[in-house]
Amino acid sequence: MSLLSPLFLFALVGIALPVWLHRLQTNATEREKFSSIMFMEQSKQRIHIQRKLKYLLLMALRILFLVLLVLAFTKPVFFVTPEAAATEDTTHHVIVLDSSFSMREGDSFDQAVRIAQGLADDMGADDIASLYTASGTVETISALTADPAIIRGSLNNLEPDNGRLDIGAMVTALNSLITSSQANFIIHFISDYQQSGQAIRFADMVPDLINGRPVSLSIHQVKTEDVPNWSVVSVEITALDTVRVGLKNNTASEQSAEKTVTLAINDVTQQSLTQTFAAPADGINYLTFENVVFEEGDNRLDVSASPNDSLPEDDTRHTVFDNSPPVPVILLSADPESLAVTYITTALETAPRGYQVELKNINDFDPRILQRYPWIVIEDIGAINDSLAQNLQAYVDGGGSILAAVGELSLGQTSIPVGGQTIGGGLTFNRNTSYKVQRVNTSHPVLNGTVGWNNLAISRVLPIEADDNSNILINLTGNIPFLLERNIGLGRFLLLNTNLNNTWSDLPVKPVFVSFIAEAARHLSNEELLVKEQTVNSFLPLGQNGGNSGQVYNPSGERLLSLADTTQAQNIQLTETGYYRIVTLGRDVLVAVNPDARESDLSLMSTQALQNWETMVSGSAGNLELIDGVAVSSVEEEPVAIEIWRVLLILLALIVLTESLLGNRYLRFNTGNA
Amino acid sequence: MQIGQNDNRNSPTRLLDPSVLSSLSNLELVAKAVVEGFVMGLHRSPKYGFSQEFVEYRPYTEGDDPRHIDWNVYSRTDKTFIKLFKGETNSHLMLLLDTSASMGFGRTHSKLQYGKYLAASLAYLASRQHDAIGAMIFNSEVVQYRPPTSKSGTLQGVIHTLDNAEAIEGTALHKPFTRFREHVKKRGLVAVISDFYCDPEALMENVRPLALHGQDVIMFHLMDPEELNPNIKESTLYEDMESGESIEVSPVFMKEDYPQKIKAHIAAIEKTAQGMNADHILLKTNEPLDRALHSYLTFREKRA
């Protein structure tokens, strides 16, 4: 038995109350002093002892009542194991069905179910069995049982899913699931034995010693030969009207096939191309659709190849193409004619995502429009006045982000507005001075895909002193921060310690500036969190909109999050193929989910590999020192938690009734009515 | 007339009721109230020696109160004589008060309290009759002993001794009676006040030597009404006040058997007293003291 809330046990000190009360009661009423007992005789009925026993019974009932009451509050649960007899010859059949995506091929899964049913039928009288499915995770379908009918019944409703099986991960999961059992083990693994499912390290596929019991592996293959399989492995939008589709031959030999490839956008078939593909082993053939017309916003691209082969589920691939117009972004500048504006605008407009720069003069900027923009750029942070600084502070606090540079107007400042970093002294401008980049934090998303920082020629910087809240992303010689970030409230503030006029440094005219601006834009607008094409069983981060995760609909259109989770869930697992829809305030995003491409490769593990595996598993068990040669033990697995508070409530009611009757009798006795 | 049954609150005999006496804190005051009330009730009967009728002179002996010397005779004869009136004797009264723990029992007032009233009243009465007074407080040991004397202040000393007595420990008659025999050689009256929870045979063995020695013994046997007729409705665990032992008794036993046993014990004590030519007076602690004083005076008259 376990207690879910053991802290309530402290209430047991309340038992002292009935004990104390009974002690008072018995001492106060039962003894009476008398001058002499020399003429008295002991009562033959010994009523006193009877009453004392009755008092003790009453006290015991009251103590029992308190104990049970406290116990009920501690939420006791019993872990009951399914009854399964274990004798000297007990064998534990661990039946594991591969339910990964590849088992959808032909009748593979039906065959696997039939094999499992046969195993259940062949169970000996003393044998026990448990049933699991293995895909992205291992799930218990039937806990330990000695009844083959339970195993057979559990097999009826099984279906393959879309996950990928890694045999190493499966064995690790099995280790933890069946460690509590103490019988002799036979692991029956019923699978198509894809080569892609084999663990990188062969040793990972060997189960740990299970309680010192013999373990053996029984291999049940649903097919023995490689099956040819074509799959759509890639859909690329190479231009705004061109889509390139990749078809892969998933067999180990060169093969040709005539396929008709159909492109449907938003459920409307646009084009169909029929072509004979002669692909080398594991090779990809490409097909290009031209003059494709996309709708504005997210487009659902379904590319399917026909005729279908024996695994039709991977003949269709889902892709999302974001054909949204360039995202507007504000560029605040005190001098709209400056070179800095030109450099920033050019970099933003040439970024892969495409941004539409809205240039605003910092002196007549209306901060009320800030809320329409997820992030903004400030050419010279020193140009903003106190009022605007307060508005920007509130904007960042609420989840907005700022990319800012310093400039001539920052020279007179003692600290960076909004960011709050202190500007020290000691650095003077000298034409001959140059600073070198000393350290670049390439793990940061902004700098992850950028190169060329070391080639910058930097002649002038501000003596910014970074505080503990600022994260220095690029450091110059002399420990001067060149790029730093600070999280303020729900937003971010990214500061470049140079002007962008090409006078303090040549950063604006270097190639790294374009990639930096693109990555900074992705980072500050949170777009990096959302990868619009995912694999089954991957996790989708949901914090795209200032911490508000929004509602998520699966491909079937069902809501996946409860109302509470819509603001709290950080990520969600994508278990189905198709399009997931994430609806947040002001945004409606589609994410395409496809099976893992490795599941389409139906090449089998070699016979030699299977033999080696079987030998290694048996070998690991053969080295065991067997206790008495056989297993003799009770077994327990997958204990079921049974809450017993209802039983305690019934007991409490009975105790209250009994206590009332006894207490009433005692009361009548005391008043002389007995 | 039963004095104790007089309900007249103005009657002087009202003060003989122990429930009234218990409201008086001063034992001497109790004794005085009891005796004066008692004497008034006697209508100055000369029988009991309270008249002022001269009887004879007798020579002064050591121990007599010098105040009683007739100085007129002395001036004429140059010898000291004491003037005796009718009812006066030249006797000793020795009060033996049992202070064992069982004497502490009592529903309204304890037997010891009643015994103190009785002893103090007897002492006061004896003092009025110019008897020498002594006292011995005992339980299992002799707690305090005052030899009999008629000196000035004796009454106050005896009452003070009685007043300080407390009910503790058990009862053992052997030691106090042996010591009494050792110290008191002169013939006199001995009033033993006790609940006599003892073996009658042992009592006889201890008291008989006194009788043989010429002492006149009167035994005031004090019992609480609850002891004579206990009334319980349920089985009760009784604890002996002296030994501390416990016993559980049923209501049936206490109603039917116990009164028989206690009556038999009292009868045995009385028989023992008769065997020693002693008087045995059974006193319930809720009855007035006049019967006890009557008994004492009658006893004294007989032995004078």
Q: For A516-572, how does the pLDDT look when each residue is reduced to its tens digit (9 = 90+)?
A: 998 888 888 776 555 678 888 888 777 544 444 567 888 988 888 776 666 666 678
Which domain-ending residue is among B85, B101, B136? B85
User: Contact, A432 vs A465, CB < 8 A?
Assistant: no
Cβ distance B241 to A47 less than 8 Å, yes or no, reads no
- Chain A nearest-CA distance from B295, in A, is 26
Question: Rounded to an integer, what distance in angstroms lies between the CA atom of residue B229 and that of residue B261?
Answer: 11
pLDDT score of A405 more than 90: yes
Question: Rounded to an integer, what distance in angstroms lies between the CA atom of residue B46 and that of residue B49?
Answer: 5
| B104 contacts on A by Cβ (under 8 Å) | 35
Q: For A591-600, how does the pLDDT look when each residue is reduced to its tens digit (9 = 90+)?
A: 899 998 888 8
Residues B65 and B123 in one domain: no
* CA distances, A322 to each of A454, A530, A594 (Å): 34, 12, 17
Residue B281 maps to a domain: yes
| B103 contacts on A by Cβ (under 8 Å) | 35
Q: What is the ipTM of this complex?
A: 0.76
Residue B295 maps to a domain: yes
Residues B192 and B80 in one domain: no
What is the pTM (predicted TM-score) of this model?
0.48
Q: How confident is the model at residue A671 (pLDDT cuts 50, 70, 90)?
A: very low
pLDDT score of B195 more than 50: yes
Which domain-ending residue is among B43, B70, B85? B85
- Chain A nearest-CA distance from B107, in A, is 10
Residues B229 and B209 in one domain: yes
Q: What angle do CA B128, B130, B135 make, to 5 degrees?
A: 90
- Chain B nearest-CA distance from A659, in A, is 23
Residue A101 DSSP label? G
Q: For A302-321, how does the pLDDT look when each residue is reduced to its tens digit (9 = 90+)?
A: 999 988 888 888 889 999 88
Residue of A39, A45, A46 with shortest CB distance to B258 = A39
Q: How confident is the model at residue A627 (pLDDT cuts 50, 70, 90)?
A: very low
Question: Rounded to an integer, what distance in angstroms lies between the CA atom of residue A600 and that of residue A595?
Answer: 8
Interface test with A, best of B236, B257, B266 (most A CBs within 10 A): B236
| B233 contacts on A by Cβ (under 8 Å) | 672
Residues B69 and B151 in one domain: no
Q: How confident is the model at residue B12 (pLDDT cuts 50, 70, 90)?
A: very low
Residues B65 and B162 in one domain: no
Residues B143 and B241 in one domain: yes
| Side-chain half-sphere exposure of B296, counting CA atoms within 13 A | 28
Q: Which two tokens stand for residue B227?
A: 């002891």
Residue of B233, B235, B239 with shortest CB distance to A34 = B239
Number of domains chain B contains: 2
Single-letter code of the amino acid located at A620: S
Residue B146 maps to a domain: yes
Which domain-ending residue is among B85, B102, B134? B85
Residue of A36, A48, A672 with shortest CB distance to B242 = A36
Residue B215 maps to a domain: yes
Burial of A517 (0-12, 13-18, 19+ CB in 10 A): buried
Q: For B58-106, how does the pLDDT look when each residue is reduced to its tens digit (9 = 90+)?
A: 788 777 777 778 888 888 888 888 877 655 555 788 899 999 999 999 8
Residues B80 and B96 in one domain: no
Residue B27 maps to a domain: no
Residue B20 maps to a domain: no
Cβ distance A32 to B197 less than 8 Å, yes or no, reads no
Domain extent at residue B268? 92-299
Residues B66 and B134 in one domain: no
Residues B183 and B256 in one domain: yes
Residues B69 and B192 in one domain: no
Residues B100 and B147 in one domain: yes
Q: Is the peptide bond before A307 cis (omega within 30 degrees of 0)?
A: yes
Cβ distance B248 to A42 less than 8 Å, yes or no, reads yes
Cβ distance B227 to A35 less than 8 Å, yes or no, reads yes
At which residue do the structure tokens 């009974």 appear? Answer: A22
Cβ distance B235 to A31 less than 8 Å, yes or no, reads no
Residue A525 gets the label, from left (phi > 0), alpha (psi -120 to 50) or beta, of alpha
Residues B68 and B182 in one domain: no
Q: Which two tokens stand for residue A509?
A: 């005219």
CATH number for the domain harbouring residue B113: 3.40.50.410
Residue B7 maps to a domain: no
Residue A553 belongs to what H/E stretch? strand A551-553
Indicate if the alpha-carbon torsion angle A384, A387, A392, A393 is positive or negative: positive
Q: For A37-91, how does the pLDDT look when each residue is reduced to its tens digit (9 = 90+)?
A: 888 887 765 555 666 777 788 888 888 888 888 888 887 877 765 544 444 467 8
